[in-house]
Structure 1
Amino acid sequence: MISAQDFCDLLTDRGFTFASGVPCSHFGGPIALLSDQPGRYVPAPNEGSALAVAAGAALGGHRAYVMLQNSGLGNLVNPLTSLVMTYQLPVLTFTSLRGWPDPTTDEPQHEVMGPATPGLLDSLGAPRHLLSAHDGVAEFATVLERAERDLAAQRAPFVLVERGAIGKATAASAPHEVGLPASEAIRIVTDSAPDAAVVATTGFTGRDTHAVADAPGTFYMQGSMGHAASIGLGVALTRPERTVVVLDGDGALLMHLGALSMIGGAAPANLVHVVLDNRVHESTGGQATTSATTSFPDLALAAGYASGAVCADEEAVRAAMGRAQAAPGPHLVSVRTLPRTGTIPPRATNALSTPEIRDRFQRDLRR
């Protein structure tokens, strides 16, 4: 293992002064350190945007690198192949190896992409290097030397990072916020719409939902971050007689904001889009999102939603949910929530397989 400080320092010493990425717990240390240095790190909404930002920095004359989770490589492929490779831009990408080499040691959503990661990069002609958990500073320096030779040859190198290869660092404390505990907000929302079909986004939201409001009519997402609203739209359009509640997160929604316009254009009368906004990517270590400068209700209204509201207490959430179910939608309810404390509940797939989640959800929709 190398320390987060050594990771950042070795890259800085080699002239890499600009970074972007999407949070992964493997890179929590470097992201925490870089985020305390203005201008050094851009938190991107998704992996493709992170690579494009780094490509822009490269065009601007800076040496840039990207940090991301291999589960998001699919979001990266288009700008990788049609931008970075096509224009031969010198961008270095660090990718965590979730679900590799043994997918059974990680969460279910990594079962496919974990083993496929090396072969996928090979199929694209992207050179890859490995930073192992037992590697030290000298080995990392050697990896960087090899990657720099790839960059000099106008190729797009990847460094695949094993779990535990990079140490942690303490992020700056977030300012005190008002709001509800996330589990309490979920309980209030589901109590306010007891007959709704529910789509719960990946990460801690799904875990809390399973702990406090499990029901056959709940679809728990494993992975596919950013697509809860789109899944909910598909359910709402095919089951117009049923209220559909999407339990989304601020970081997840920011990944694919275009879904708001798609939903506004389709105008499903039965969709209630609830965003639990705690301003951090909590399941990857608490890295800040950019929701503090974003108004989700205003975005939703501009995209064609019927209404948008911000809530910070139980009374406001219940009132907003009542209004949303009393008038044709789609509606967006943004709930201010607090960072979680204490023990995090287990994921739904500890009790149910993904096919079981699918089957009971479909049975409930047919009732």
Structure 2
Amino acid sequence: MIEAHEFIDSARKFGYSYYAGVPCPFLDPFINYVTECHNLTYISSANEGDAVALAAGTYLGGQPAMAIMQNSGLGNAINPLTSLTHTFRIPVLLIITLRGDPELKDEPQHELMGRITGSLLESMKIPWEYFPTASDQILPTLTRASQHIQKSNRPYGLIMRKDSLAPYEKKGSKTQGRTLHLKHQTSSYYLQTGALYSRTEALAYLLPQTTPQNNTVLIATTGYTGRELFALEDRPNQLYMVGSMGCASSLGLGLSLVRPDLKVIVIDGDGAALMRMGNFATIGMYGGSNLIHILLDNEVHDSTGAQATISSNFSFAQVASACGYPLVLEGNQLTLIDELLAPSAGKGPRFAQLKIRSGTLEDLPRPRLSPPETKQRLMAYLQL
């Protein structure tokens, strides 16, 4: 058994000051210590996959982060671990608690995951070892994790057994995130009759205002959005998500937190946003004014055959407002982008739901660079 501060203080020497995750009783001392320290940050994610994507975003900004979770939620993280961090070669240090440990009695819902946690990581090509339980094991463990991360640029796992950490009672923590805004500016006057704009027209309107010269990064959700953005203009300040559906906003949040000097623009889709809508609340709590969330809503899953989503019966704008975005816009006019990007838009993250029509370009190309090359180019643009 070790003290939480022993591991966390040692991890700080390896660059770790950001933690994102979902609690577990085994992690209670860990989270209590991090939230109490003013030079450490803990982001309470809506689910474990969002925590992985957020940690990937902080890495893109030059700040490694740990994603911490109970193994019962590891399933929520499989998609970003296999199609985001593995595909783009983004390292994340994972701490996963071992509920359902075969050597201990636990609740029945943990029994199967307890038996397969290690093999599940191995199936995802993620090497792992047990979390250290003695002080002299901490530095060697972190060194092995660091060596793997530097060599492969892929995740490394630490599986934490019960009673690995000594109890640590919270003595008084810092305020995390922002106080929920009681008043929101929600504008829907951009709604007019007539034909809807296409996705390409919306992206083309956005591009001149988001050049590499004005310290802006664009994160495009998976599917046609990234491909159309690439077809219009391929620039070093753009990242085209592949797979990891719904994770663009979490990744953008992570990048925006560690790089307040940047304007981070997430271009989302209605199907993707519905899949991980819990991150709206996380952004509302932790996001800053440098995070801009644009949702292109065509009411279909366009890249898989235009199957309908449920967004025709649903208001993302109202959800964003309720989750704490201070500025929320909705409509079908491209000019709402101007207000969204205005320097005077105020504090906190901004959101716009822009209704567009479905369909895409003929012979739509795919990005020429591989995902790791696109990531590396973005980090070079960020001078990392």
The counterpart of 2:283, out of the listed 256, 259, 263, is 263
* Structure 2 residue identity aligned to 1:337: I
Q: Say whether residues 1:228 and 2:245 are aligned partners.
A: no
Q: Say whether residues 1:362 and 2:379 are aligned partners.
A: yes
* Structure 2 residue identity aligned to 1:335: L
TM-score, length-normalised on structure 2?
0.49
Does the 8 A contact of 1:321 with 1:333 survive in 2?
A: no
- Cα deviation digits, residues 221-250 of structure 1 (max 9, x gap): 110000000000011001101100001000
Find the counterpart in structure 1 of residue 198 from structure 2: 181
1:320 Cα deviation after fit: 3.2
The counterpart of 1:306, out of the listed 296, 305, 326, is 326
Q: Say whether residues 1:201 and 2:221 are aligned partners.
A: yes
Does the 8 A contact of 1:207 with 1:344 survive in 2?
A: no
Does the 8 A contact of 1:311 with 1:317 survive in 2?
A: no
1:180 Cα deviation after fit: 1.1
1:184 Cα deviation after fit: 1.0
1:201 Cα deviation after fit: 0.6
Q: Say whether residues 1:339 and 2:358 are aligned partners.
A: yes
Measured in 2, the distance between the counterparts of 1:337 and 1:222 equals 22
Measured in 2, the distance between the counterparts of 1:330 and 1:366 equals 24
- Cα deviation digits, residues 150-193 of structure 1 (max 9, x gap): xxxxxxxxxxxxxxxxxxxxxxxxxx984211011012123233
Does the 8 A contact of 1:189 with 1:321 survive in 2?
A: no
Q: Which moved more, 1:325-334 or 1:182-191?
A: 325-334
Cα distance change of structure 1 residues 346 and 366 upon mapping to structure 2, 3 Å threshold: same
Measured in 2, the distance between the counterparts of 1:328 and 1:200 equals 23
SS at match of 2:244: coil
Does the 8 A contact of 1:177 with 1:338 survive in 2?
A: no
Measured in 1, the distance between the counterparts of 2:326 and 2:256 equals 15
SS at match of 1:225: coil
The counterpart of 2:347, out of the listed 319, 325, 328, is 328
Does the 8 A contact of 1:178 with 1:336 survive in 2?
A: no
Find the counterpart in structure 2 of residue 275 from structure 1: 295
Measured in 2, the distance between the counterparts of 1:299 and 1:341 equals 27
Measured in 2, the distance between the counterparts of 1:269 and 1:278 equals 26
Measured in 2, the distance between the counterparts of 1:74 and 1:222 equals 11
User: Which segments of 5 or more consecutive residues in structure 2 lack a partner in the other structure?
Assistant: 1-48, 50-77, 84-99, 101-107, 111-119, 126-192
Q: Say whether residues 1:254 and 2:271 are aligned partners.
A: no
Cα distance change of structure 1 residues 302 and 346 upon mapping to structure 2, 3 Å threshold: same
Instruction: Determine which structure has greater relative contact order: mean sequence separation of CA pairs < 8 Å that are 6+ residues apart, divided by chain length.
Output: 2
CA RMSD of aligned residues (A): 3.6
Measured in 1, the distance between the counterparts of 2:362 and 2:293 equals 27
Measured in 2, the distance between the counterparts of 1:72 and 1:239 equals 22
What percentage of aligned pairs have identical amino acids?
A: 36
Cα distance change of structure 1 residues 213 and 274 upon mapping to structure 2, 3 Å threshold: farther
- Cα deviation digits, residues 39-73 of structure 1 (max 9, x gap): xxxxxxxxx9xxxxxxxxxxxxxxxxxxxxx9699
1:305 Cα deviation after fit: 0.7
Does the 8 A contact of 2:329 with 2:336 survive in 1?
A: no
Cα distance change of structure 1 residues 184 and 264 upon mapping to structure 2, 3 Å threshold: same
1:312 Cα deviation after fit: 1.1
* Structure 2 residue identity aligned to 1:190: L
Cα distance change of structure 1 residues 189 and 329 upon mapping to structure 2, 3 Å threshold: farther
User: Which segments of 5 or more consecutive residues in structure 1 lack a partner in the other structure?
Assistant: 1-47, 49-69, 76-81, 88-112, 120-175
Measured in 2, the distance between the counterparts of 1:344 and 1:334 equals 27
Does the 8 A contact of 2:340 with 2:351 survive in 1?
A: no
Measured in 2, the distance between the counterparts of 1:259 and 1:347 equals 28
- Cα deviation digits, residues 9-36 of structure 1 (max 9, x gap): xxxxxxxxxxxxxxxxxxxxxxxxxxxx
Cα distance change of structure 1 residues 223 and 179 upon mapping to structure 2, 3 Å threshold: same
TM-score, length-normalised on structure 1?
0.51
* Structure 1 residue identity aligned to 2:232: V
* Structure 1 residue identity aligned to 2:208: D
Measured in 2, the distance between the counterparts of 1:308 and 1:281 equals 23
Measured in 1, the distance between the counterparts of 2:313 and 2:81 equals 27
Alignment of structure 1 residues 9-28 onto 2, 5 Å = none
Cα distance change of structure 1 residues 337 and 241 upon mapping to structure 2, 3 Å threshold: same
Measured in 1, the distance between the counterparts of 2:351 and 2:197 equals 17
Find the counterpart in structure 2 of residue 29 from structure 1: none
Alignment coverage as a number of residue pairs:
209
